[in-house]
Amino acid sequence: MKPIQVGLLGIGVVGSGTFNVLLRNQEEIKRRAGRGIQITMVADLNVARARELVGPGVAVVNDARAVIANPDIDIVIELIGGYGVAKTLVLEAIAAGKHVVTANKALLAVHGTEIFAAASAKGVMVAFEAAVAGGIPIIKALREGLTANRIQWIAGIINGTTNFILSEMRDKGLDFAVALKQAQALGYAEADPTFDIEGIDAAHKATIMSAIAFGIPVQFDKAYVEGITKLGAADIKYAEQLGYRIKLLGITKRTPKGIELRVHPCLIPAKRLIANVEGAMNAVVVQGDAVGTTLYYGKGAGSEPTASAVIADLVDITRLHTADPAQRVPHLAFQPNAMSDLPVMPMGEVVTSYYLRLRVADETGVLAKVTGILADADISIDAVLQREADEITTEVAAGQAQAQVPQTDVIILTHDCLEADMNAAIAKMQALPSVLEPITRIRKEELA
């Protein structure tokens, strides 16, 4: 049988990895897929560089639409990224009857409903293993391997850049800004790192996982998103003393009231395997009712790790493209007519436990006032840690004598409570004159 013909839109880091791995392992891949898989056409704005990468025998153009219009192309790989031209091209490829493979998490998290509906109407597949956690086959695991389970929750380190920064902060006692600069110098963080450090990239991935785990539509606009920019070295140190590590987690959870979908820094027990995932690595924990807890670990980015996921999708499509569309694995794991309308809950309705750090004047009664506010809100305290007071010299007013004001950090771990109740309690504690700086609040998950 003649090889299946693939057109590649965008030959950057992942595109060139895909081309190289496909060529290097072509015999092995053919034995698995049942026929050869060949990239025969590439579109890239930098035609000269693309030609150099693919050599003779592959058509190189600067117009993606020429690939989509080519009747010999069976599958289009979209590696352009973003929600702009990539969305238009993916919809055009679907309309032209092409199967699509994409690594574009932003596109699917925001426009997935429209894209999957268009693909189903046209009877083509949109495959996206590379969109979540790079080389880790988490989409396959959730959609197929765990299909027997009622999934209860997923918690993942799904952004390598922020995990690298947090590892550096912990290892070297660095503050966020210094660790970010190092990550940029080493090429782990982009010149504009906003999507990574503000948690947006992780939220795109968590949104996709929530849809597949619970059979709900992709709803990025409902995700709660908080990045790592406000974390300080002190919090990482205190967490360590209490037996926890701080990680940026993407969490999605089934509750009686609806689905939690949130990305934020989190204290997790240092003894959990996922707490020990360091550097730019990714890991995802999935809890299913039958299987229990499972953990998936690997590289979440990079040329060949991501190519590994892209090619897995090419093989799946090659095996299935002649099958009746009704017999294929549904895009979001559940049949389109069997999706759930469970709501994604607002963050205020989420129940979790907390780490609080209060910088206070070391005066009689401060701790009593703080714990009194928590007690009034029915928030139960799990542990309190108070450091020795620092003698801080504060200038009272211009030209006046200096005053010695002893200050200290009070760290409180709470039991589970409603986020809305915690917000109200924090506002009251913040209003106490003895609380000298904005209170740091980090959510805590036991992942038991």
> Which residue number, 288 or 300, has a Cβ lying nearer to ligand HSE?
300
**Given the complex with ligand HSE, which of 136 and 422 has the nearer CB atom?**
136
Give CA–CA dist 263/199, Å, rounded.
Answer: 6
Active site residue 140: no
Q: Say which of 205, 247, 253, 299 is annotated catalytic.
A: 205
Among 301, 310, 360, 366, indicate the residue that binds ligand HSE (CB under 6 A). 301
Return the C-alpha torsion angle 426, 430, 435, 440, nearest 10.
50
Pairing of strands 281-288, 351-361: unpaired
Under the criterion CB under 6 A, does residue 107 sit at the interface with ligand HSE? no
Give the 3-state secondary structure of residue 101.
Answer: strand
Structure tokens at 231: 């974390």
By beta-carbon proximity to ligand HSE, the closer residue of 161 and 414 is 161
The count of chain residues that interact with ligand HSE, using the rule CB under 6 A, is 7
Rounded (10°) angle between helices 160-172 and 176-185: 120
Stretch that binds ligand HSE, among 108-116, 156-164, 327-335, 352-360 (CB under 6 A): 156-164
Question: Is residue 287 part of the contact set for ligand HSE (CB under 6 A)?
Answer: no
β-strand partners of 219: none
For the chain, the straight-line distance linking the first and the last C-alpha, in angstroms and rounded, comes to 50
Q: Which stretch binds ligand HSE (CB under 6 A): 81-89, 111-119, 157-165, 261-269?
A: 157-165
Decide: residue 187, CB within 10 A, 0-12 exposed, 13-18 middle, 19+ buried: exposed
Place of tokens 């000298």: 436
Does residue 300 belong to the site contacting ligand HSE (CB under 6 A)?
yes
Q: Of 4 and 157, which CB lies nearer to ligand HSE in the complex structure?
A: 157
When asked if residue 313 is in the footprint of ligand HSE (CB under 6 A), the reply is: no
Given the rule CB under 6 A, which of 5-13, 91-99, 158-166, 334-342 is the region that contacts ligand HSE?
158-166
Question: Counting contacts by CB under 6 A, is residue 80 touching ligand HSE?
Answer: no
Tell me if 108 contacts ligand HSE by CB under 6 A. no
Of the candidate spans 15-23, 159-167, 257-265, 362-370, the one that interacts with ligand HSE by CB under 6 A turns out to be: 159-167
Which H helix or E strand runs over 39? strand 37-43
Per-residue binder mask for ligand HSE (CB under 6 A), 178-197, x = binder: ------------------x-
**CB 436, min distance to ligand HSE, A:** 35
160 part of the interface to ligand HSE, by CB under 6 A = yes
If the CB atoms of residues 124 and 248 are measured against ligand HSE, the closer one turns out to be: 248
Q: Pairing between strand 351-361 and 37-43?
A: unpaired
Stretch of 15-23, 71-79, 155-163, 326-334 contacting ligand HSE, by CB under 6 A? 155-163
Q: Which class for 59: exposed (0-12), middle (13-18), buried (19 or more C-beta within 10 A)?
A: middle
Return d(Cα 92, Cα 320) in angstroms, integer: 21
Select from 159, 207, 252, 407 the one that contacts ligand HSE (CB under 6 A): 159
423 to 65, 130, 284, 375, 427: CA distances (angstroms): 51, 37, 29, 14, 6
> Which residue's CB is nearer to ligand HSE, number 124 or number 301?
301
Which residue, among 87, 52, 63, has the nearest Cα to 10 in the 3D structure?
63
Output 120 or 161, the one with its CB closest to ligand HSE: 161
Q: Would you count residue 7 as binding ligand HSE (CB under 6 A)? A: no
State how far the Cα of 312 lies from the Cα of 317, in Å rounded to an integer: 9
Instruction: State which H helix or E strand residue 114 sits in.
Output: helix 105-122
Helix (H, G, I), strand (E, B), or coil: what is residue 184?
helix
| Residue 167 within binding range of ligand HSE, rule CB under 6 A | no
Does the footprint of ligand HSE cover residue 226 (CB under 6 A)? no
What's the CA gap between 437 and 434, in Å, rounded?
9
Q: Residue numbers of the site for ligand HSE (CB under 6 A)?
A: 159-161, 196, 201, 300-301
Q: Could you list the active site residues?
A: 205
